[in-house]
Structure 1
Amino acid sequence: MSKNMLRHHFLGLILVLWAITACGRGEEEVYQKLVIGVIGYGESSSSLEEYSDLQDYLSIQLKSIVELEPAYNEIQALKQISQEKWDLVFAPSGLAAIAIYRYKYQPLVPLEGIEKLRSAIVVNQDSSFKKILDLGGESIVLGQEGSATSYYLPIYNLYGLTMEKVLFSPTPQTSLELLEQREVDGAALSVEEFNQYRQNFKANQFRIIDLDSHVIPTGAIIISNKIGSREFVAIQKALATAPSHIAASAKFLPTEKTPQYEYLIDVIKRVKPITENIKQQPALFYEPKKAPLNN
């Protein structure tokens, strides 16, 4: 039996004993189950290991079965959120904003991250493009809906352009691969992602032609509005008082203020009317004027 299996078997026995004790006292002290969603960009096993200590800690603190569920990208995560399958989510900023705006999640504690995360558009080093307007009539790869840096902000910054086509990539690595292979003329991603994933390509393969000026807040652990008030308070307290080694492993900041997502939510609202237009060929980063009705 593996170490993880032994750990979960042990926790299961503890929860059963709690449940028996609670029933004997006629009290509802055991929560049923808590599902935590995380995004791994295809690195699920390594990603989940970071949260194992938190999983055990919450199981004990909440007297609950705690499950971790990975998602490959923001699209998968949004599906789980929209169907109310995740109780807690380790959400990057864009996903947190849309979950708060559309699905009434609430931020609990901030995640560790770059304080001044920026959205960038990059091209191949030998490209003739020097600024974002040069991409008019060309092609670009964006990330998935739910990403602030590779989806919402680039659409917002490209507003008014007509482009040949837009591709949508599941991961930053794939975006840079499509750019390297000349499938597209530009790629949108965060500067942090660019610096991380460009190491997988030859030196000086890419360069940045546009850097968004807005500071993007860090992500947050967000909680579903289906969680009852009693359980909400218990989860909030457990996260706020989590031991430092557990918070460090899961990369959240229990004593910091929750980020403000008003600007990102405003960007999401503004780009929503054109998100279908950019899926067409040519891709329109604006709302076409409707022809007047003939009398």
Structure 2
Amino acid sequence: MLDIGTVLDDRYRILSERQPGSFGRVYLAEDLKEGNKKVILKEFTLAVQGTDASPTLQKLSNLNHPRIAKFELVYYQQNLFLVRDYIVGKSYATLLKSKHTVTGYFTKNEILELFRQILPVLSYLHKKGVIHGNISPENIIRSNKDNLPVLIDFGVKQVATEILGVESLASQGNHNAKTTYAPDDQLKKGRFAPDSDLYALAASALYLMTGKEPKDLWDVPAAKWIKQKKLTLRSPLKEALNKMLAAAPEQRFQSAEEVLRLLDNKTIVQSNMSRNLVFFFAGVGVTALAAVGAIAFFPVFKPQPQRNLTLGFLAIPNFPNQKYELLADYLKTELGNKLKTDKLTIIVDAIDTQSTTSLLDAKNRIADKKWDIAFTVNPMLSVEAKKNGYTFAARMWPGIEQIQSVLFVRGDSSIKNIADLTPDKIIALGQPGDAVTYSLPLYNLYGKTLTIDKRNSVNDIIEKVKSGQADIGAGYLNRIKEEPKLRLFGFSRSIPLSGVYLSPNISEKEQNLIKETLLNAAPNVRNQTNYEQGEEPDYSNFIGINNRVIEILSCTKFDQNPVNLYCDRPQNIIQGKVDGVFPVANDKHELTLQTEKDTYKVILPNSYVGAPLELNGKIIQVIDVKPKEVSGTLVLEITQPKQIKVKD
């Protein structure tokens, strides 16, 4: 047992012990390197001397999906720990208990929606070679962040079986019929396959719809599920459950995609059939219907595809105009009609700005095209959206033209001017990449040496300056003006605001429909989601500032305080005249650079200069790039904007 306060791997500090798991103790801890983010540590008391004994272990640590808790592997005192994100929310077992006292059990539609959220996650896991192996209502959490289900504790039983073997695993008492939802072929034979996960998901659904555990619903002598009078189901859910719960593995669905296809196609065909029959009866009559036959209806039953649209944004604490549920309901109704589907699901993905990785998480969502409609909130994310091919749809922050970054101190501070900023002074900055609390302050403080406290939220910066933990802070002008105990110290230039952007994965026709629908929303819908019609902001100057900050950071030891915010190392410069410019890819050009001694080929990303073709005949400098010899030719590959300079 680990004592409270124990630190593993110089990173994870134990906060408390939780209910023990099947294979060891479970702890709540905080990640000291990620702003004290809460994590769960699951101990494997299996005497493992490395991860080779379980191929699944390495697969777990490489998984990355928004609907599963991320894993890392840590060794401490010869024991293995799986570290996963702590998901704030309620398990579906807990939700059932509270639901039963009010409305009864989960409905058929709620289970269908749960399947549509969870089955794509299982598909991702299975394609990565990971079987969950322990699906149950306890291991599906409805996240408080977006009210969507998240899978936890996947792969644990598969790992234990690989390490210990089936017989040894059974001898440890892990086969518990009262709590498991897995089929016998997994429990008794150690068979982990996609169909066994689907079996456990279906068994969990039965529990959520009846309140009875699998052991109370399974007729052992007859080897079949007991029919429940209160559980009346029709296709397609009934058909799906029957096949998912088949006793023989070969009779079950073999993939999550098969279940989804059945649910979506059957549901839509059934819905269309009822509407078309009413129409036919009214217009033709019963006799004609009998004469034509059922085959005449087949072309009419064209299933509409399931559609998901994700709204993504940064959630700012205490900001009143961030109620995206109203917009989600509006889009579901309006777009469902325009896109000609009654299977449209609007997913709201909110990233809390209190997290120290919120900007990075949002950038990754945009880079991976996971946000269909991106409410960027921050101009850095607007730039990221443009860089990744997103299309502008609307302006954010109605009534505000630009925002201004300021430096501030406590009212009684001895700091009066820039000369007072000595190396012992502490400046509290925001998250790396944040325009107002990080990039602009570093840009304006170039040449100074300071002690830097970074990765703070806006509120943390203010509190640290008030309490004296920091001498100076960076923040938003309007926010700091509201604080009577603070004094403005310096102003930065104004920067443009953010916008609403549409993913390049959406067709141009549908982008136009979405943009039209957004702009035609009622004023209260637009106000509560903080956007309006308008022109796209010009980010060109801001991009230049940010590139300069990247250049500063590249030549400073930013993690060693105090930090010298300037570059003083010698540079290796190759200067010559451009004698030829040719495109070599969609986003790159090749320059022929002639110096006094040699000829070089320069590979240059288009975004690093205004117009590559206009460089022909000009003098350029390539800075700190080591030449590579390729087939007898000296090649200089530019990987950062600071590595090329055009001489006037």
What secondary structure sits across from 1:192 in the alignment?
Answer: helix
Q: Distance in 1 between matches of 2:417 and 2:442?
A: 15
Q: Does 1:106 align with 2:401?
A: no
Q: Distance in 1 between matches of 2:438 and 2:563?
A: 14
2:477 to 169, 191, 196: 191
Q: Distance in 2 between matches of 1:106 and 1:18?
A: 35
How far residue 65 of structure 1 moved from its aligned partner, in angstroms, is: 0.9
How far residue 20 of structure 1 moved from its aligned partner, in angstroms, is: 5.4
How far residue 19 of structure 1 moved from its aligned partner, in angstroms, is: 10
Select the structure that is richer in helix.
Answer: 1
1:172 to 444, 458, 462: 458
How far residue 161 of structure 1 moved from its aligned partner, in angstroms, is: 1.5
Does the Cα contact within 8 Å between 2:367 and 2:385 map onto a contact in 1?
A: no
1:61 to 310, 327, 334: 334
Select the structure that is richer in strand.
Answer: 2
Q: Please name the residue that 1:126 is paired with.
A: 412
Does the Cα contact within 8 Å between 2:403 and 2:477 map onto a contact in 1?
A: yes
Q: Distance in 2 between matches of 1:26 and 1:274?
A: 62
Q: Could you say which structure has the larger radius of gyration?
A: 2
How far residue 286 of structure 1 moved from its aligned partner, in angstroms, is: 2.2
Q: Which has the higher contact order (CA 8 A, sep 6+)?
A: 1
Q: Please name the residue that 1:86 is paired with.
A: 371
RMSD: 3.4
Deviations 1:135-176 (A, max 9, x none): 24222111113422111211111112121x212234211111
Q: Please name the residue that 1:201 is paired with.
A: none
How far residue 70 of structure 1 moved from its aligned partner, in angstroms, is: 1.1
Does the Cα contact within 8 Å between 2:311 and 2:373 map onto a contact in 1?
A: yes
Q: Please name the residue that 2:426 is paired with.
A: 139
Q: Please name the residue that 2:362 is paired with.
A: 77
Deviations 1:246-283 (A, max 9, x none): 11221210x32222222212211121122353333221
How far residue 120 of structure 1 moved from its aligned partner, in angstroms, is: 0.4
Q: Does 1:37 align with 2:37?
A: no
Q: Distance in 1 between matches of 2:303 and 2:440?
A: 46
How far residue 128 of structure 1 moved from its aligned partner, in angstroms, is: 1.5
Q: Distance in 1 between matches of 2:301 and 2:419?
A: 68
What secondary structure sits across from 2:453 in the alignment?
Answer: strand
Does the Cα contact within 8 Å between 2:378 and 2:498 map onto a contact in 1?
A: yes
Q: Please name the residue that 1:288 is paired with.
A: 568
Indicate how the Cα distance of structure 1 residues 130 and 217 shifts in structure 2: closer, same or farther if over 3 A, else same: same
Does the Cα contact within 8 Å between 1:96 and 1:222 map onto a contact in 2?
A: no
TM-score when normalising by structure 1: 0.79
Q: Distance in 1 between matches of 2:269 and 2:481?
A: 48
Q: Distance in 1 between matches of 2:453 and 2:550?
A: 17
Q: Please name the residue that 2:546 is paired with.
A: 268
Q: Please name the residue that 1:242 is paired with.
A: 521
The unaligned stretches of length 5 or more in structure 1 are 199-203
Indicate how the Cα distance of structure 1 residues 286 and 225 shifts in structure 2: closer, same or farther if over 3 A, else same: farther
Q: Distance in 2 between matches of 1:19 and 1:167?
A: 60
In structure 2, what residue type is equivalent to 1:91? Answer: T
Indicate how the Cα distance of structure 1 residues 157 and 229 shifts in structure 2: closer, same or farther if over 3 A, else same: same
Counterparts of 1:201-240 in structure 2, within 5 Å, are 204-212=484-492, 214-240=493-519
Q: Distance in 1 between matches of 2:476 and 2:303?
A: 46
Q: Distance in 2 between matches of 1:18 and 1:173?
A: 53
Q: Distance in 1 between matches of 2:531 and 2:571?
A: 51
Indicate how the Cα distance of structure 1 residues 183 and 242 shifts in structure 2: closer, same or farther if over 3 A, else same: same
The unaligned stretches of length 5 or more in structure 2 are 1-98, 114-263, 274-297, 337-343, 354-358, 573-648
Deviations 1:60-81 (A, max 9, x none): 2222211111111234322332
Q: Distance in 1 between matches of 2:376 and 2:270?
A: 31
Q: Distance in 2 between matches of 1:195 and 1:154?
A: 18
Deviations 1:188-246 (A, max 9, x none): 011123245x3xxxxx321111011x232222112233333233222122112222221
What secondary structure sits across from 1:156 in the alignment?
Answer: helix
Q: Please name the residue that 1:52 is paired with.
A: 325
Indicate how the Cα distance of structure 1 residues 210 and 244 shifts in structure 2: closer, same or farther if over 3 A, else same: same
Q: Distance in 1 between matches of 2:481 and 2:345?
A: 38
Does the Cα contact within 8 Å between 1:78 and 1:146 map onto a contact in 2?
A: no
Q: Distance in 2 between matches of 1:279 and 1:99?
A: 25
Q: Distance in 2 between matches of 1:47 and 1:247?
A: 9
Bigger shift: residues 107-116 or 16-25: 16-25
